[in-house]
A and B are shown apart, each in its own frame.
Chain A
Amino acid sequence: MFSTSSQRKFWTFSDESELASQREKHNLEFISRHGQHLDEHQRYNYFLSPEEERQLLKQYELHLKEFCKRFQPPMPKGVIGTAFHYFKRFYLYNSSMDYHPKEILATCVYLACKVEEFNVSIGQFVANIKGDREKATDIILNNELLLMQQLNYYLTIHNPFRPVEGFLIDIKTRCTLSNPERLRSGIDEFLEKVFLTDACLLYAPSQIALAAVLHAASKEQENLDSYVTDMLFRDAGPDKLAILIEAVRKIRSMVKMVESPARERVRVVEKKLDRCRNQENNPDSEIYKRRMREALDEDDVQYTGTSRMSLDTSGVTQVLSPSAS
């Protein structure tokens, strides 16, 4: 149940400014760690600004959506929702300069498949990826443990899909609305867009689901307000109703604001990223390869004893990519 979940306790935040400050913090941390030799002015010429990081991640969220849509065998909606959650959670506490979103994206989807019991082998999985599949396999498996650690092992995700079904059952049973099934296309469209916003880090899945249902109803020129006020919130106080109305309004406006980032800008940002990214986590870099060799040569026991085991989410600064072992 969402009300007692770790999702509510640790991964639902109060407002957008909290999310923004969290992201900014990790951007600054990365820059101060890697850019000490540069003065204030040069820094943002070389590194990504928080704004640029946002643009980049939004672009990659679109990639994530496309990747999941094209995935063979077709995956259930729950996997997509869970993958989005993982992706957003990961970059709340990490900078995209530290870990390239391209790599984390695939790892998120792979882990989501496992958690949502959508059974695909790694071989089947990388068949959906263009390019060097062996390399992709290595990257995904190497990053899987890192991702789980960064999620603090809170892997259960409450998606809005089941609440939507619940509302539809309830509306069919208790409302006079004719043919509620016609709301479905509107709901699906809405939920697809919701995952491009930060709504799932701010609101309960049932609130998002209700926003989707209400949005779809208004698109069909139906009004479900009486269902909400007279049925759902009949026994609740007006203060609670006010909270819900505000939440629904906010979610809908967030969805309305969704726009894909400008292609040209993102391309520039990506070029910049290739230069400034943390080479220790770049599988193509010399430093990464050398490290992997060292890790393989090193005694296993000694290796697992390093900082990798620390569980501090906010303060993990130097995290090695888990070895290929």
Chain B
Amino acid sequence: MDDQACPRCKTTKYRNPSLKLMVNVCGHALCESCVDLLFLKGSGSCPECNVPLRRSNFRVQLFEDSMVEKEIDIRKRILKDFNKKEEDFTTLREYNDYLEDIESIIYNLVNNIDIINTNKRIDQYKKDNKELILKNKAKIGREELELEEILEIEKQMEDIRRAEVLRVEQETKKQKIREKEALIDELMFAEGDAKEILNTFSQNLASRQEEIVPILPKVTQFSSGVKFSRGSGQQGLPIIEEGPLYKYEPLAIPDRCGPDPPSLQDIVNNGYLKHVRAETETEKTGGYSSTLPCLRALQDALTGLYHSS
């Protein structure tokens, strides 16, 4: 890949990493900027073989060997006309000869051998088999149509299925509302015990729910015939064994060695807070309140008063 180079401007992949080589039907490569330059008008001739080319026929070179690209182009063009099927021949031998003919024509065209004669052969063939070519073209078209039809049918089936699911959902919703209304009516007008009515209704509901098992047609195949299914990885989560729950027990208050300080409640209620600096708005936002520091000062004052050596 590294030695890819444009034959005209000699730019290489190494010097311009974004270099893109393009080819046209003649199979000679040109870099993108050269294409832009030479085919400004939309058409021109190949700088190497002078074959007239159209700009719109340029495409990115897929294969390193430009001969391969040329062959692909030619093969596409030839096979458009040489479109006979095996059924069109009486023996296998004839069909094989026909295939070999195609290959030799393509080979000649690619390698510029006897081009005039080969072209004549093609024209001859076209004239001889005009009807068959047309017929086969139509046939290919029909086959494609059939495939499209299958896809269409599949799509319709899918739509029907979705509508069915939607309908069932709405139905159950309506059903629920209806049941609720019936229950309220019953409660409003019936004579019996409200609890009993509730019980019977919930029982009815449970039994009916068991009945409803949605039957939905399941699609298990793509139109291509490939089966699909959900991944089988539906294993339950491992169950973690847990010990007994943590139970909070308040800390034991150590011996204060002094009179008991007032509780937080007392501090708020008994006016201690009047004598401490109140917290500012900023401090309050941070979660600070002056109650705790007040308690701490009182606690420190009282603890150790009974201390004796």
Contact = CB atoms under 8 A, between A and B. Distances in A.
A204 B270 contact: no
A243 B59 CA distance: 107
A8 B306 contact: no
A1 B259 contact: no
Contact of A236 (B254, B255, B259, B299): B259
Nearest to A161: B300
Given A13-B309, A172-B275, A235-B259, A204 B298 contact: no
A169 B301 CA distance: 10
B255 to A, nearest CB: 6
A173 B305 contact: no
Nearest to B275: A172
A318 interface: no
Among A163, A207, A210, which residue has the most Cβ atoms of chain B within 10 A? A163
Nearest to A233: B259
A52 B305 CA distance: 34
B276 interface: yes
B294 interface: yes
A12 interface: yes
Contacts of A209: 301
A234 to B, nearest CB: 8
Interface in B182-235: none
Contacts of B254: 1, 3-4
B259 A3 contact: no
A206 B301 contact: yes
Contact of A206 (B260, B270, B300, B308): B300
B297 interface: yes
Contacts of B299: 1, 166
B4 interface: no
A241 to B, nearest CB: 9
A203 interface: yes
A206 B276 contact: no
Nearest to A237: B306
Nearest to B253: A1
A204 B301 CA distance: 10
B300 A158 contact: yes
B259 A8 contact: no
Interface in B130-186: none
Nearest to B297: A166
A229 to B, nearest CB: 12
Contact of A207 (B271, B296, B305): B305
Given A13-B309, A169-B272, A173-B274, A206 B259 contact: no
A236 B275 CA distance: 26
B259 A205 contact: no
A33 interface: no
Contact of A1 (B256, B260, B298): B256
Among B256, B298, B301, B309, which residue has the most Cβ atoms of chain A within 10 A? B301
B47 interface: no
A8 B258 CA distance: 14
Contacts of A168: 275
Contacts of A167: 301
Contacts of A178: none
Contacts of A205: 300, 304
A44 interface: no
B307 interface: yes
Interface in B280-298: 294, 296-298
Given A3-B256, A232-B259, A14 B309 contact: yes
23 contacts: A1-B254, A2-B303, A3-B254, A3-B257, A3-B303, A12-B307, A12-B309, A13-B309, A166-B300, A169-B275, A169-B297, A170-B298, A172-B274, A173-B275, A202-B309, A205-B304, A206-B300, A210-B305, A232-B259, A232-B305, A233-B259, A243-B306, A247-B307
Interface of A: 1-4, 8, 12-15, 158, 162-170, 172-173, 202-207, 209-210, 232-233, 235-236, 240, 243-244, 247
Interface of B: 254-260, 270-272, 274-276, 294, 296-309
7 cross-chain pairs, A with B, having the tightest CB-CB distances, nearest first: A166-B301, A204-B304, A166-B297, A14-B309, A3-B257, A204-B307, A2-B304
